[in-house]
Chain A
């Protein structure tokens, strides 16, 4: 079975705090892709990152960083020095190479950054 779990439903932080959004996935495939999307109040899904299952290097992009650990089936997302504009719902998603490429989304984590 393929499944993505985002255990944190809502997180509230004060501006400039660091925050980590957790994502745990399940899949039997050896080739798969993991994604993070941001969904601001306007509703569109904004692509943040895609990682393939063979690349476990952590990635940093500005204030964003991602930690991919196959041993624990986790793909966590950290925002450093959070800002009010980071307030949104964040989705982690899984796509299996041999299953048509459909995205399986987690339930999402609503992040609220207060000034």
Chain B
């Protein structure tokens, strides 16, 4: 079974620029999550999708962050404009169902550095 694919692996941008991250979940997984992990902290949920609908985006800074999951498969997370405090690893995870019962599979993450 292929894992959760994320790209790019690393990205360096200047503040006020825009950036986009891509995630391809495990086939058949209805639930997709984007987490932000700032250095020295645990991952924090940004947004959760169930198929192509948003379940929870309460912690997504909507003035600069946006995400979509077209056709309930791949997802894209965008930051525009980026700030220095957005430097973090962005992790995508998928799950068969949005309950935790079946566990989660994480991608390798995208490490973003904003300079």
- Could you tell me which A residues sit within 8 Å of B by CB distance? 4, 32-33, 35, 43-45, 47, 50, 52, 91, 93, 95-97, 100-108
Q: Is the CB of B95 within 8 A of A43?
A: no
Partner of B109, one of A43, A93, A102, A108: A43
Q: What A residues does B20 contact at CB under 8 A?
A: none
Nearest chain B CB to A52 CB, angstrom units? 8
In the complex, are the beta carbons of B100 and A44 less than 8 A apart? no
| CB of B74 to closest CB in A, whole Å | 20
A101 touches B42 (CB 8 A): no
* Residues in chain A near residue B98, CB distance under 8 A: 100-101
Instruction: Tell me if B56 and A102 are in contact (CB < 8 A).
Output: yes
B42 touches A108 (CB 8 A): yes
Judge whether A44 and B109 touch: CB under 8 Å: yes
- Shortest Cβ distance from A56 into chain B, in angstroms? 17
Contact A44 B97, CB 8 Å, known A101-B31, A107-B41: no
Pairwise interchain contact B41-A50, C-beta atoms closer than 8 A: no
- Nearest-Cβ distance from residue B115 to partner chain A, whole angstroms: 20
Is A106 in contact with B42, judged by CB distance below 8 angstroms?
yes
A50 touches B111 (CB 8 A): no
Flag if B45 contacts A43 (CB, 8 Å).
no
Contacts of B56 in A (CB 8 A): 100, 102
Question: Given contacts A97-B99, A101-B98, are A43 and B43 in contact (CB under 8 A)?
Answer: no
Determine if A50 and B89 form an interchain contact, defined as CB atoms under 8 angstroms apart.
no
Task: Beyond A103-B33, A108-B40, list 5 extra A-B contacts (CB 8 Å).
Answer: A33-B101, A44-B106, A101-B101, A104-B45, A106-B42
**Closest A-B pairs by Cβ, 4 of them:** A105-B42, A95-B100, A33-B100, A101-B100
- B91: Cβ under 8 A from any A Cβ: yes
- 1/0 per residue, CB under 8 A from A, across B100-114: the answer is 110111111101000
With the chains together, A35 CA to B102 CA distance in Å?
12
Alpha-carbon separation in the docked complex, A90 to B35 (Å): 17
With both beta carbons as reference points, the residue of chain A lying nearest to B50 in the complex is identified as: A100
Q: How far is the CB of A34 from chain B (nearest CB, A)?
A: 9
Do the beta carbons of B33 and A43 come within 8 Å of each other? no
